[in-house]
């Protein structure tokens, strides 16, 4: 059990550091700061490796004693009566949940930005409203008599 407690003690600060980077990534995504995003990607790589190492250690420990990671591990820790281990595990779980929430938030932000960029590209390619085209596919001004409302341009 001491080995598992040690893994949780090492994993928690890594989770918290990763969550902090995800918060910074959110701001860089909002600002569309590609230079900052590249820096953050480089900073996240060693933490991803460390978290993968912690995950492997937890899974190995679980397989050695014949329990399933996740709910099985939590039930085992709760039934062990080791208050310190339960406290460390809970702190680790909280940090892990913060990482997951921040990662999902950033993924939604990326999808939103991709959709907005796609719509803008469609407008530039004249794929949005064919009947009110300003330019044809060759980039030549449309010869139709239809005037396009400025808000639709």
3-state secondary structure 25-58: HHHHHHHCCHHHHHHHHHHHHHHHHHHHHHHHHH
Q: Tell me if 11 sits within 8 A of 93, measured CB to CB.
A: no
What percentage of residues in the chain have a pLDDT greater than 70? Answer: 82
Q: What is the pLDDT of residues 103-121, one digit of tens each?
A: 999 999 999 988 988 888 8
Taken in order of first residue, the domains within the chain and their CATH numbers are: 2-127 (1.20.58.300)
Predicted pLDDT of residue 131: 44
Q: pTM for this structure?
A: 0.75
Average pLDDT over residues 36-60: 96
φ, ψ of residue 135 to 5 degrees: the values are: -125, 150
């Amino acid at each position: 059990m001491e080995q598992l407690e040690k893994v949780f003690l090492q994993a928690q600060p890594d989770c918290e550091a990763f969550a902090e980077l995800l918060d910074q990534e959110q701001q860089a995504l909002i600002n569309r700061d590609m230079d900052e995003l590249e820096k953050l990607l480089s900073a996240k790589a060693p933490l991803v490796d460390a978290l993968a190492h912690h995950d492997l250690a937890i899974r190995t420990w679980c397989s050695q004693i014949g329990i399933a990671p996740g709910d099985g591990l939590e039930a085992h820790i709760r039934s062990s009566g080791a208050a310190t281990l339960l406290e460390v595990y809970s702190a680790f779980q909280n940090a892990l949940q913060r990482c997951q929430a921040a990662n999902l938030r950033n993924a939604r932000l990326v999808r939103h930005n991709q959709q907005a960029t796609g719509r803008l590209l469609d407008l530039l390619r004249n794929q949005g409203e064919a009947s009110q085209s300003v330019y044809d596919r060759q980039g030549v001004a449309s010869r139709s008599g239809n005037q396009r409302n400025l808000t639709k341009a």
